[in-house]
Structure 1
């Protein structure tokens, strides 16, 4: 799953120009299912899963049309952590 997480985060960083990116667009670009991306991005968000809180690299929301949108945070781009993708492997 670490390879998928890396691909998902790198693709989001590439495509997110500040407005976020729809999960269907990311799925088409990565070849991963939307459900897989939703699971990966949830683990990369600041959501608490069990006893562990995520690193806060991604924010997810549903837009007014009902589409899931992912946005990369400054921490996800490496602003707070010099190696966010490497650190993400332990949470997935």
Structure 2
């Protein structure tokens, strides 16, 4: 499927305030505005989750690199401990 909805989900009504003219124009371009909005929202959520996961992977890599550096060379703060 699309990554978010692996099974048919129960639908629920939501209140969203949108520009009336924009809604009218969008309705003239699509047969089912609700389906179109749901598809766009699904795409948005999927991309945001991918971006978040990628940021998390990058952060994990940076943490691992710093931990490795610290294990080999010690902490930068260690040079100041003798001054306390």
User: Do both share a fold (TM > 0.5)?
Assistant: no
Interval containing the TM-score (normalised by the shorter chain): under 0.3
TM-score (structure 1 length as normaliser): 0.21
